[in-house]
Amino acid sequence: SYESAEALVRSHRRILVAPCICRREKKLAGEGCDRLEEACLVFGSGTDYYLKNGLGRMIDQEEALRILKEADRAGLVLQPSNSQKIANICCCCGCCCGVLRTIKMHPEPAKIISSPFRVSACAESCDGCGICLDRCQMEALHLDDGRVAADLRRCIGCGLCVSACPTKSLSLV
């Protein structure tokens, strides 16, 4: 979730931003999307490698937090490194990211993702606008009688649907 990513960013002093290699690769192939390209955040000693090789630029916490907000507005999934001491956060789209594209092909993405979160839907307060459906990278949401419903076998707990829901009918649990 954005709030968890914000806390991770605030815990670091050395932050670098690098271009998304997945979106860059797709653009070079004449495919992909036009979402934010400078979107991969690297922390701590990992910044040394990127700087040494000219792969990114150092930024402060405030710029990193602006990137996270822009990523959320653009419907990008925040993917931190899977380690106890975080090394990076990638801001990924389902059309370019090799990881998300592969996960989406699995019949039950939730089984292969390590996330403590899942979406919870309150159909009673939903007005059926469908904004959440468009943002869900895993197609885990659908409308049932004009109200949102979730397929928890597909939900990876990214929170993109939650941050866009105008009626606050969705939450992460």
- pLDDT, one tens digit per residue, over 119-165 is 999 999 999 999 999 999 999 999 999 999 999 999 999 999 999 99
Q: State yes or no: pLDDT of 114 exceeds 90.
A: no
Cβ–Cβ < 8 Å for 138, 155: yes
Q: How confident is the model at residue 79 (pLDDT cuts 50, 70, 90)?
A: confident
Neighbours of 95 (CB within 10 A): 16
**In this prediction, what percent of the chain has a pLDDT beyond 90?**
83
Residue 158: closest CA among 84, 98, 104, 96: 104
The CA-to-CA distance between both ends of the chain, in Å, stands at: 11
Span 102-122, average pLDDT = 93
Residue 172 has phi, psi (to 5 degrees) of -95, 135
- What pTM was estimated for this model as a whole? 0.86
Average pLDDT over residues 6-18: 92
Mean pLDDT of 11-22: 94
Determine the pLDDT at residue 53.
Answer: 96
- Residue 127 is predicted with a pLDDT of 95
Instruction: Mention every residue, 6+ apart, whose C-beta is less than 8 A from residue 88.
Output: 40, 41, 42, 43, 46, 80, 81
- In this predicted structure, what is the pLDDT of residue 21? 93
pLDDT of residue 105: 95
For residue 2, pLDDT beyond 70: no
Q: Looking at residue 1, what is its pLDDT?
A: 64
pLDDT band at 80 (very low <50, low <70, confident <90, very high): confident
pLDDT at position 96:
94
